[in-house]
C-alpha cells in the first residue's frame, strides 16, 4: 500500500497519534452534554426512553446525541433525529447496521458491484451516506458490513450535516455509539438458534475493578445460512474490550479495541427480467424476474468459488475532564485498519439472456482493499451567559489522515487474464467454465476450474487524504420560550488519488492532487410554547469535495477518471431546509415529531456528450415525515414513523444522439440525459415502520413490527433517435423493485430474575421481496421467514 505520494508513513501516523493523544492527556478532556442534571424515572420504549434525563437498560442517555456538538436536548434540537437504543436492537433482533436501519422509515440500502464495494450503503433522503457513517462521532469510512454486538445506540440525523462531521452528509449521517465501562457490575449472555441453522452467541461483561478502574468486554460469534436462499451462508466473530481509568471522577481515560472478522458466501441477487436492448415495447418498466420463471431460492453464483472476507481493527483513546466551573474538555483519538476481499458472481443480463434464452450469464465482480486512518478530535464544551442570553456551546478542533487502495483479482499471475465477463448464453451450457446457467434452476455447484490471484501493485487504485477542521456550535436561550441553534465549520481538505495502471501494469503511475477549503453551517430557531413542546425552522449545508470517498465506495465525484483534470471538478453542495415540531407527551413518556423538508444538491458531477466533465447536476427532494417513540401506557410502547419523499433529478447533463438533420445530412443532437426529470434511485416515495411491545403480565411481553416500502428505482435509461431533424425517445427503461409489506413478531418471557427467553419471527408471512435495487442488472432478494429463539442469562 505504500507509495511516495502517500505523504504520511505509518511511523508518521503513529507520531501524530501520540502527539494528539498527549494533548488530551495533558488537558484531561471530558464530554459535556448540554442538559439539566435532574434525574427522573425513565419511561420505556423497549429500552428507548424519551424523558430529558432518562436512560435505557444499558445506561445510555437517549435524550441527547452522544457528541458534545449536540448543544441541546433532542426536543430542542431543530432537525430530524432518531435514536435506536440497544433494547430496540434486541427486541427486533437487529444484529447488523443494515437490519437496524430497517426500523427507520425513509432509509434504503444500496447495492454493490465491482466499482462500488460490498458493504453498508445507506441512502438517507435520496443521498448515498456510505461515507457519512461514524463510530463515536469519528468518521468510519471503510467499506464494511457493521455489527451491533458492541453498539449501545445508533443515532440517525437527517438533512445536510457536514457542519457536524465534515465532508459528505448530503442527506444525513449515522453514528454508532460504542458500549463503554460503567460503575455497575453486570454480565449478559445471549444464546440464539433458529431455522436455516441460525446460531449466535453474544457476551457483555461489565466489571468495575474498584472505584477508579472499570473494564467491559463484548464478544460475538455468529453462523447462519439464509432463509429462502440456496447455498448462501454468513459467519463472523468479534471482540470489543475496553478499560476506563477514572470511572467515577471528573477525569478519565478510556482505551478501546474493536475487532471484527467476517466470512461469507455473498448473495448474488436476482437478474432483472429485460434490458433496454430487448424490451418488447417502449416504456416497459422491469422488476426482478419472479417465481413464474425461476425458483425462489435460485442462486446464480458458484458456491465453490465465490467468497467475501473482511477484517476490522480499531483502537481508540478518549481522555476526559470536567472542570469545577462546568467546562468540559474531551480528546478522542482513533487509529483504524480495515481490509476486504471478495469475488462474487453478478447475474448480468446486459446481453439479454434472461428474456431471450431463459439463461443467465455469470459475470465476476472482485475486489481486495485496505484502508487505514487516524482521527483526533479535541472539543471544549460548557455554558456561559452574556447579559440575559444563556449559551450552551462546543468548540472543536479536528485532524484526520486516511489512506486506502483497492484492486481486482485475475485468472493467473503471469498474463493476468480477466475473470469471466458477461457473454451471450444461448443455452445454459454455452460458453466455458460454468459461465452460463439456467434461469429457472441454476446449479450453484457447477464445476469451475482456474486460479484466482491478486493483481500487481500498479493494478490498484490508491487514494489518501488529510483534513484539518475547526467548528463552533452554540444554543442560545433567548428567554423562556425561544432558542437559537447555530453552528459553523471550516475544513481544509487535501486529497491525492492515483488510478490503476492499465494492463500489463508496467507504466508509471500518475497522481491527481486536489485541495479544497470548505465552509458549512447550520442555523435553527426554536419556539417553546410549553416545556414539553417545540416548533422550529432550520437550514443546514453540506459539501462533498472530489475524491472524498477515498475509493471506498461509489464515488460520483472521484479524482481518478481518465482524462479529467482536477481543475474541471467542483465541490458538490447541498442545502437543506426544515420546519417541524416535537412534543413529549404522557408525562414525557411518548415523543412525537413532525417535519417538512427540502434538500437541494447543486454542482453534482455529470459527463458531457464528448466525454468531458460538467458540474451542472442538480437534484431536489421535498417531503415530510412523522416519528413516534415511547410509551402510550406503562405497558404499551411504540417506535416508528412515516416518510414521504418526492424526489426529482432536475439536471443530469446531456446525451448525444447521432442521426440526420432535415436535409438528410449527418448531424448530432444533444438532449437531456435519461435520468433528468425522474425520481432519485434508492428513494421510495412512501415508507412506514411500526414496532410495538405490550407487557401482558410482569413476565410476558408480546410485540411485533410492520414495514412498508414503496417502489424503489435502481436507475433509468433509454434509446433515442435523431432523424430528419426530429428527436425521438424510442424506449425508456426504469429498473426498480416493487413495493412490499413485511411483518415481524416477537415474544419474551422472564423465567426468573436472571433467565429469560425470547422468540423473534422475522418476515413472518415469508414475503418474497427485494431490499436493494442496482441501476442496471440485478436486485437483491431479502431473506425469507426466519424464526429465532434466544435464551438470556444475566446478573
Over the stretch 65-78, which tens digit does the pLDDT of each residue have? 788 888 999 999 99
pLDDT at 57: 45
- Does residue 368 register a pLDDT over 70? yes
- Rounded Cα gap, residues 59 and 35, in angstroms: 16
Give the DSSP H/E element, type plus range, for residue 761.
strand 755-762
- Does residue 643 register a pLDDT over 60? yes
- Does residue 613 register a pLDDT over 70? no
Q: Which three cell numbers stand for residue 79?
A: 432537525
Q: How far is CA 97 from CA 121, 174, 564, 761, in A?
A: 10, 10, 36, 19
Strand-pair partners of 380: 329, 395
* Dihedral, CA of residue 129, residue 133, residue 139 and residue 145, to nearest 10: -110
- Does residue 792 register a pLDDT over 60? yes
Average pLDDT over residues 717-723: 86
Q: Which three cell numbers stand for residue 63?
A: 435524550
How far out from the chain centre does Cα 444 lie? 30
Tens digits of per-residue pLDDT, 372-414? 999 999 999 999 999 999 999 999 999 999 998 889 999 988 8
Average pLDDT over residues 104-110: 91
pLDDT at 279: 59
Task: Residue 496: name the closest of 459, 429, 545 by CA.
Answer: 545
* 631 pLDDT tier (thresholds 50, 70, 90): very high
Task: Residue 222: name the closest of 233, 237, 232 by CA.
Answer: 237
* 775 pLDDT tier (thresholds 50, 70, 90): confident
Strands 636-651 and 726-737: unpaired
Mean pLDDT of the chain: 85
Percent of the chain with pLDDT over 90: 57
pLDDT at 612: 59
DSSP output for 411-454: S-SSS-PPPP-----SSTT-SSTT-EEESSS--TT-------EE
pLDDT at 34: 33
Q: Comparing 675 with 321, which gets the higher pLDDT?
A: 321
Strands 172-178 and 186-194: unpaired
pLDDT at 30: 31
Tens digits of per-residue pLDDT, 424-467? 999 999 988 999 999 999 999 999 988 899 999 999 989 898 99
- Does residue 536 register a pLDDT over 80? yes
Instruction: Flag the least confident range among 36-40, 405-409, 610-614, 690-694.
Output: 36-40
The size of the chain, in residues, is 795
Cell 436455516, residue?
Answer: 196
- Does residue 492 register a pLDDT over 50? yes
Task: Residue 288: name the closest of 401, 147, 439 by CA.
Answer: 439
* 21 pLDDT tier (thresholds 50, 70, 90): very low
* 124 pLDDT tier (thresholds 50, 70, 90): very high
Largest Cα separation within the chain, whole Å, is 91
DSSP secondary structure code for residue 456 in this structure: P
- Rounded Cα gap, residues 538 and 576, in angstroms: 8
Domains present along the chain, CATH in parentheses: 10-32+180-281+298-794 (2.40.170.20)
Burial 533-560 (b: 16+ CB within 10 A, else e): ebebebbbbbbbbbbbbbbbbbbebbbb
Task: Residue 147: name the closest of 243, 66, 220, 69 by CA.
Answer: 220
* 718 pLDDT tier (thresholds 50, 70, 90): confident
- Does residue 365 register a pLDDT over 70? yes
Q: How far is CA 251 from CA 10, 17, 38, 246, 282, in A?
A: 30, 21, 22, 6, 68
Q: Which three cell numbers stand for residue 23?
A: 494533548
Average pLDDT over residues 409-422: 89
Average pLDDT over residues 480-491: 96
pLDDT at 275: 60
Task: Residue 555: name the closest of 564, 566, 563, 544 by CA.
Answer: 544
**What's this model's pTM, rounded to 2 decimal places?**
0.89
End-to-end Cα distance, the chain: 47
- Rounded Cα gap, residues 268 and 347, in angstroms: 7
- Does residue 190 register a pLDDT over 60? yes
- Rounded Cα gap, residues 639 and 633, in angstroms: 13
pLDDT at 568: 66
* 160 pLDDT tier (thresholds 50, 70, 90): confident
Amino acid at each position: 500500500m505504500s507509495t511516495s505520494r502517500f505523504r504520511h508513513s505509518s511511523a508518521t501516523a503513529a507520531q501524530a497519534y501520540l502527539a494528539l493523544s498527549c494533548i488530551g492527556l495533558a488537558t484531561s478532556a471530558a464530554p459535556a452534554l448540554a442538559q439539566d442534571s435532574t434525574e427522573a424515572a425513565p419511561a420505556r420504549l423497549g429500552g428507548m426512553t424519551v424523558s430529558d434525563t432518562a436512560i435505557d437498560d444499558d445506561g445510555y442517555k437517549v435524550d441527547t446525541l452522544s457528541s458534545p456538538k449536540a448543544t441541546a436536548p433532542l426536543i430542542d434540537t431543530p432537525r430530524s433525529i432518531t435514536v435506536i437504543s440497544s433494547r430496540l436492537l434486541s427486541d427486533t433482533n437487529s444484529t447488523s447496521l443494515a437490519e437496524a436501519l430497517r426500523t427507520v422509515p425513509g432509509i434504503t440500502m444500496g447495492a454493490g458491484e465491482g466499482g462500488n464495494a460490498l458493504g453498508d450503503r445507506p441512502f438517507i433522503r435520496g443521498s448515498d451516506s456510505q461515507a457519512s457513517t461514524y463510530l463515536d462521532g469519528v468518521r468510519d469510512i471503510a467499506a464494511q458490513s457493521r455489527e451491533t454486538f458492541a453498539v449501545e445506540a445508533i443515532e440517525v440525523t437527517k438533512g445536510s450535516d457536514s457542519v457536524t462531521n465534515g465532508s459528505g452528509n448530503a442527506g444525513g449521517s449515522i453514528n454508532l455509539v460504542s458500549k463503554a465501562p460503567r460503575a455497575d457490575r453486570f454480565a449478559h449472555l445471549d444464546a440464539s438458534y433458529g431455522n436455516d441453522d441460525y446460531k449466535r452467541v453474544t457476551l457483555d461483561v461489565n466489571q468495575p475493578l474498584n472505584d477508579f478502574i472499570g473494564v467491559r468486554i463484548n464478544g460475538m460469534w455468529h453462523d447462519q445460512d439464509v432463509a429462502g436462499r440456496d447455498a448462501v451462508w454468513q459467519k463472523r466473530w468479534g471482540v470489543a474490550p475496553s478499560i476506563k481509568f477514572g470511572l467515577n471522577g471528573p477525569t478519565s481515560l478510556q482505551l478501546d479495541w474493536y475487532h471484527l472478522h467476517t466470512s461469507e458466501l455473498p448473495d448474488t441477487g436476482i437478474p432483472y427480467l429485460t434490458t433496454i436492448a430487448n424490451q418488447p415495447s417502449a416504456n416497459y418498466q422491469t422488476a426482478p424476474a419472479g417465481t413464474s420463471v425461476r425458483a425462489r431460492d435460485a442462486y446464480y453464483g458458484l458456491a465453490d468459488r465465490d467468497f467475501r472476507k473482511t477484517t476490522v481493527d480499531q483502537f481508540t483513546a478518549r481522555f476526559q475532564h470536567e472542570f469545577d466551573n462546568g467546562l468540559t474538555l474531551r480528546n478522542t483519538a482513533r487509529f483504524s485498519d480495515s481490509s476486504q476481499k471478495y469475488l462474487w458472481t453478478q447475474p448480468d443480463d446486459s446481453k439479454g439472456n434472461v428474456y431471450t434464452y431463459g439463461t443467465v450469464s455469470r459475470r465476476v465482480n472482485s475486489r481486495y482493499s485496505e484502508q487505514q486512518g487516524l482521527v483526533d478530535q479535541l472539543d471544549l464544551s460548557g455554558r456561559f451567559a452574556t447579559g440575559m442570553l444563556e449559551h450552551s456551546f462546543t468548540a472543536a478542533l479536528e485532524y484526520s489522515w486516511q489512506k486506502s487502495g483497492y484492486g481486482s483479482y485475475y485468472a493467473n499471475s503471469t498474463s493476468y487474464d480477466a475473470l469471466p465477463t458477461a457473454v451471450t448464453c444461448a443455452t445454459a451450457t454455452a460458453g466455458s467454465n460454468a459461465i452460463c446457467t439456467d434461469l429457472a434452476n441454476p446449479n450453484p455447484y457447477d464445476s469451475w476450474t482456474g486460479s484466482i490471484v491478486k493483481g500487481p501493485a500498479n493494478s490498484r487504485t490508491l487514494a489518501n487524504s488529510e483534513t484539518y477542521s475547526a467548528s463552533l456550535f452554540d444554543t442560545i436561550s433567548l428567554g423562556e420560550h425561544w432558542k437559537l441553534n447555530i453552528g459553523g465549520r471550516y475544513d481544509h481538505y487535501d486529497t491525492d488519488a492515483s488510478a490503476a495502471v492499465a494492463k500489463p501494469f508496467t507504466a508509471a503511475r500518475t497522481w491527481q492532487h486536489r485541495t479544497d477549503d470548505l465552509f458549512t453551517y447550520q442555523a435553527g430557531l426554536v419556539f417553546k410554547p410549553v416545556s414539553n413542546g417545540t416548533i422550529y425552522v432550520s437550514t443546514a449545508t453540506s459539501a462533498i469535495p472530489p475524491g472524498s470517498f477515498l475509493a471506498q465506495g461509489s464515488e460520483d465525484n472521484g479524482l481518478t477518471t481518465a482524462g479529467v483534470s482536477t481543475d474541471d471538478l467542483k465541490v458538490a453542495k447541498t442545502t437543506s431546509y426544515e420546519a417541524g415540531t416535537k412534543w413529549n407527551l404522557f408525562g414525557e413518556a411518548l415523543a412525537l415529531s413532525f417535519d417538512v423538508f427540502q434538500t437541494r444538491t447543486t454542482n453534482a458531477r455529470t459527463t458531457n456528450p464528448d466525454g468531458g466533465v460538467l458540474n451542472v447536476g442538480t437534484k431536489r427532494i421535498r417531503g415530510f415525515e412523522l416519528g413516534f417513540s415511547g410509551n402510550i401506557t406503562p405497558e404499551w410502547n411504540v417506535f416508528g414513523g412515516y416518510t414521504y419523499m418526492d424526489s426529482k433529478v432536475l439536471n443530469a447533463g446531456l446525451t448525444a444522439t447521432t442521426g440526420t438533420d432535415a436535409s438528410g445530412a449527418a448531424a448530432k443532437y444533444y438532449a437531456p440525459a435519461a435520468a433528468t426529470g425522474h425520481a432519485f434511485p434508492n428513494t421510495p416515495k412512501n415508507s412506514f415502520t411500526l414496532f410495538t411491545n405490550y407487557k401482558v403480565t410482569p413476565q410476558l411481553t408480546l410485540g411485533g413490527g410492520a414495514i412498508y416500502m414503496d417502489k424503489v428505482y435502481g436507475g433509468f435509461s433509454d434509446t433515442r433517435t435523431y432523424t430528419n431533424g426530429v428527436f425521438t425517445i424510442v424506449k425508456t427503461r426504469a429498473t426498480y423493485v416493487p413495493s412490499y409489506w413485511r411483518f415481524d413478531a416477537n415474544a419474551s418471557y422472564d423465567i426468573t430474575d436472571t433467565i429469560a427467553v425470547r422468540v423473534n419471527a422475522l418476515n413472518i408471512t415469508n414475503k418474497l421481496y427485494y431490499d436493494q435495487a442496482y441501476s442496471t442488472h440485478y436486485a437483491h432478494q431479502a431473506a425469507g421467514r426466519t424464526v429465532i429463539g434466544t435464551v438470556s442469562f444475566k446478573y
